[in-house]
Structure 1
Amino acid sequence: MSSNQNVRSRQGTRGKSGRRPWRAVRQGVGRDFGPNTAARQLRAAALTLVAAGALVQCGAGDKTGSAASCAGCNVLLVSVDTLRADRLGVYGYPRPTSPWLDQFAADAVVFERASSVSYHTAESHMSLFTSVFPSVHGVANASSDKVDVLPPAIGTLAEAFRDAGYRTAGFHGGGNVAAAFGFDRGFEDYQETHTVDRAREWIESAGRDAPWFLFFHTHQVHDPYIPEAETRHLFKTAAELPIPDSPEQLERLLAEEHGEDATPPFTAVRDAFWRRVDPSRSEHVQRVSDLYDSKVRELDAMLESLVEVALRTARPTLVVITSDHGEEFQEHGRFLHDALYEELLHVPLILRHPELSAAPRRVTDRVSLIDLAPTLLELVGAPPLVAAQGRSLAPFLSSGGADGRALLAEKVHVQPSGEHRYAGAQALYLEPFKLIARGSELELYRLDRDASERVNLVSSHDQQLQRMLRVLEAHHAANLVHRESLRGSSAGVETVLPAETLRRLESLGYLE
């Protein structure tokens, strides 16, 4: 089952509006802009954002505060695919899913309201690596054997670390973070692996002659949620159900369906799990959620085994733990990840600075993963990424650094012609409101009063809606101009995915 074919019991309650201003906003999306048009659009975008009081910082970041330097520090960046912030104790979850991470976070800076820039893996991770929005870098989850590649003009975090004299390595779970998309740029070593062993070995053999930057990505909590025997009953609340909840049970089902000696593809494994889930039955939904929590507990042990090795190195190590997006359990009528609601965009962001561990902080301002690359580069004293649209969060590490930026998340789609990629769905945060826009479909929520996004305010808050539509229109224009300036003749560059990458994407359910 692909992430675009989520199990649903209903479509979810979505507010709609046929307001002309939004149709006008959509008219320019996905079109090419000539130089004169681009200049006009950029000037108009800047004026609109300034008027709205929501100008988004582009470039090296806002140096309104100063965090302790970490020049020469090693940097470990961990991205857990599909991890919800609200399933961790450090973010208030009452179940003991993350005892080690909770303890680790007690000596770290915890960003309580960090948002991803997309609900899909490729878009989110490439924005994390480049500090530009998905509609600018153009890299999206694979939907066929051909994908767009990151344009050469857009620099990456690994390239910046390499150019600053760092050793660089990446160990990842494959699929939509495979090298073919351009994720390997700047890495001396970029390997697919499904355990922490290679990453631990690399750290232990890296030596101390030069600092290192290590990226580690895992699908540990990705569906299907089949925990090991030690954890599968930790959070069980429902009675026995037909949903497989152990490797042994799943193997028996697969043997019955495919034969004892068969080796079914991983798509069959996912199918064996999801075909037995009835989204209309609350006990089924709860059991799936319980199994996810068990996988989070397993993740906690994995993180401990990796991070503790990194912290034992001769050089001080800066550690960041985050996620590309969350996961839905029928909060808005779906499973998996295919929407812009908070259960999918609210992600953990925990940063442990070796010189600030005695002064942990909890940051309540809303921030974005697009800010992470500028933050890390500033902390180690490396030059910023020239094209960056995020801003450094370094001021938050010491004295605070409140800002009233509008923050954006978006889903990149491909036009039927296949020629261009554009933002087909967006979420805009302008505190305390959040706007979700899909075509002419609009939803407006006040998150400080409605964190679950249940009451659509489109019909009752027209002034706020119009303000946010203007800001979103300006974002569109600015991103299109930025895209054209960076992509240029490289726009639309494609590559054919290697056979092994295609197999991995099929195993994860992204390709049929």
Structure 2
Amino acid sequence: MNMKISAGYLKKTWGLLLLFAVGSYAQQPKKPNIVFIFSDDHAYQAISAYGNKFVKTPNIDRIARQGAKFNNALVTNSICGPSRATLLTGKYSHVNGYPLNEQRFNVDQSLFPAVLQQNGYQTAWVGKWHLGNLPKGFDYWRILNGQGQYYNPDIIGPKDTVRMEGYVTNLITSMSLNWLNNRDTSKPFFLVVGEKATHREWLPDLQDLGAYDNITFPLPPTFRDKYTNRVAAQNQDMTIDKTMRLKEDLKVHASYEKGIYGRFTPEQRKVFENYYENKVSKEFDEKNLTGDALVEWKYQRYLRDYLATARSLDRNIGEILDYLDKNGLTENTVVIYASDQGFYMGEHGWFDKRFIYEESLKTPFVMRYPGVVKPGTQVNELMLNIDWAPTMLDLAGIKPGADIQGTSFLPLVKSGGDKKNWRKEAYYHYYEFPVPHHVYPHFGLRTEQYTLVRFYNQTNSWELYDLKKDPHQVNNIYGQKGLEKLTASLKGKLKQLIIQYKDTDALKILEQE
């Protein structure tokens, strides 16, 4: 059949097709940018959004206020490097191969930033990496050397290592914003801002020295814990009393010619030394304290240095948030702030982390996503750091690989999200022993009300805590009469999780009972 089609008809038809195509494209959801700010050892109980009335963290609070605050964000192995490996892989330590610090992380396994990169994202990691290997899956990276240095740190790039003058938190922000300024704006971006703060030895920025010196912090209820009926707690080496060092940790008559202080410029050293010698060390000498009074003085100095270090961290988070606002990026950018794990702020007389107990098990986690996450959202479900990777992929509209062990937590923060099938129990496994803090290896279970833990190798002991009756976890009720049915039920759930997450070493220990 011969048909004549007029030029006007063709023009009209193509116009309609073009209009339909443009309309369809316009309806496609724009992939969000993601900024993941990841600090080190920053305790949730040291953040005002989490209820601390003595500290000021206005910018972390700002994210929480404008988005969601997770009240039970838990880690699966409370230690720095393994937590980063879990972030990158969405897997437990025994699966991703990085259960201990100071190893060489396998960057050739599936890492979610590389998946984002393969799906059109521009990716970057700036700051602390601490995985014994160089990053992979990033278009841009500049990382600290190992733990890094607070002042004038060495910065490793793909081609060289340079020493940058300045305070580490400020430098990380500067490098991050510089990358944002020079990125490919045709692509969505994923940026990790890896902070060194608030890692030991807690060196504040010069402008923050003495920021909390006018506050006397109350002692935690468990500050003088006697560790009754808790073998592992009795034998740790992480107390403010015996483990925290006056010279290295609290800067009392520090050696300014070497080590971390040897990196100072003369100008930096003058300000730093003036504060710690003429104020802190002078006070220490004049008081001449011993016994409990000395331990309490150390506690006050610890908190003042730690929180002053966190002050710069929060201020720099504010700079990043302001940058997003000024550049029209806020509405389509997910901002997350989290720490690699929790930390002890004097609870049980401790600093550091490692244990399954609440202060080190729980990490701060706040998230802002305008138009998706309702401001002021409170999330009480048990969220794990294996969930972070699949959530980042979910945000980008990418289905996670079958090897990822976590689950996207977006249903917990999206309006109308299905929370009914969310986990009711969380699994934990810690390995590192004996150095540096002599914490026995252990695995365990955390539910809404209970914590069940099995210590092994150096001590074969169980602990059980009722978090409603004993929120400070000082009363180990394992083996008490009348709890047999509860204990058996929790052990059954623990075994199910061990099998689910394929922790064969833990299963062997459990089956030897």
Distance 1:396 1:107, change over 3 A: same
Tell me the percent identity.
20
Residue 188 (1) aligns with residue 139 (2): yes
Distance 1:301 1:246, change over 3 A: farther
Report what 2:70 is aligned to: 111
RMSD: 3.5
- Structure 2: distance between partners of 1:179 and 1:454: 40
Gapped regions of structure 2 (runs ≥ 5)? 1-27, 145-167, 218-244, 265-272, 435-439, 506-513
Residue 149 (1) aligns with residue 149 (2): no
Distance 1:82 1:342, change over 3 A: same
Report what 2:470 is aligned to: 450
Distance 1:393 1:70, change over 3 A: farther
Distance 1:313 1:72, change over 3 A: farther
- Structure 1: distance between partners of 2:496 and 2:203: 44
CA deviation after TM superposition for structure 1 residue 278, in Å: 8.4
Report what 2:361 is aligned to: 345
Report what 2:450 is aligned to: 433
CA deviation after TM superposition for structure 1 residue 228, in Å: 3.6
CA deviation after TM superposition for structure 1 residue 352, in Å: 0.6
**Residue identity matched to 1:474:** Q
Please list the CA deviations of residues 206-257 of structure 1 after superposition, one character each: whole Å capped at 9, or x if unmatched. 1421101111111111111232454333323459xx957999x77x6314x7
Report what 2:224 is aligned to: none
Q: TM-score, normalised by structure 1?
A: 0.68
- Of 492, 496, 512, the residue aligned with 1:470 is 492
Q: Which has the higher contact order (CA 8 A, sep 6+)?
A: 1
Report what 2:401 is aligned to: 385
**Residue identity matched to 2:466:** R
**Residue identity matched to 1:455:** N
- Structure 1: distance between partners of 2:290 and 2:31: 52
- Structure 1: distance between partners of 2:29 and 2:466: 38
Question: Secondary structure at 2:431's aligned position in 1?
Answer: strand
**Residue identity matched to 2:333:** T
Question: Secondary structure at 1:442's aligned position in 2?
Answer: strand
Question: Secondary structure at 2:255's aligned position in 1?
Answer: helix
- Structure 2: distance between partners of 1:110 and 1:428: 23
Distance 1:414 1:229, change over 3 A: closer
Question: Secondary structure at 1:177's aligned position in 2?
Answer: coil
Please list the CA deviations of residues 448-496 of structure 1 after superposition, one character each: whole Å capped at 9, or x if unmatched. 332221111212233222222222233333433799xxxxxxxxxxxxx
Please list the CA deviations of residues 376-400 of structure 1 after superposition, one character each: whole Å capped at 9, or x if unmatched. 2112212213211111111111235
- Structure 1: distance between partners of 2:291 and 2:430: 25
Report what 1:121 is aligned to: 80
Q: TM-score, normalised by structure 2?
A: 0.68
- Of 310, 316, 322, the residue aligned with 1:296 is 310
- Of 182, 196, 211, the residue aligned with 1:234 is 211
Distance 1:246 1:444, change over 3 A: closer
Gapped regions of structure 1 (runs ≥ 5)? 1-68, 416-422, 484-512
- Structure 1: distance between partners of 2:141 and 2:431: 25
Report what 2:128 is aligned to: 173
Question: Secondary structure at 1:410's aligned position in 2?
Answer: strand
- Between structure 1 and structure 2, the one with the greater Rg is 2
- Structure 2: distance between partners of 1:366 and 1:279: 40
- Structure 2: distance between partners of 1:325 and 1:361: 22
Residue 410 (1) aligns with residue 411 (2): no
Report what 2:237 is aligned to: none
Distance 1:459 1:190, change over 3 A: same
Distance 1:313 1:244, change over 3 A: farther
Report what 2:301 is aligned to: 287
CA deviation after TM superposition for structure 1 residue 372, in Å: 1.5
CA deviation after TM superposition for structure 1 residue 172, in Å: 2.2
| Count of matched residue positions in the alignment of Structure 1 and Structure 2 | 387
CA deviation after TM superposition for structure 1 residue 356, in Å: 3.2
- Structure 2: distance between partners of 1:320 and 1:357: 12
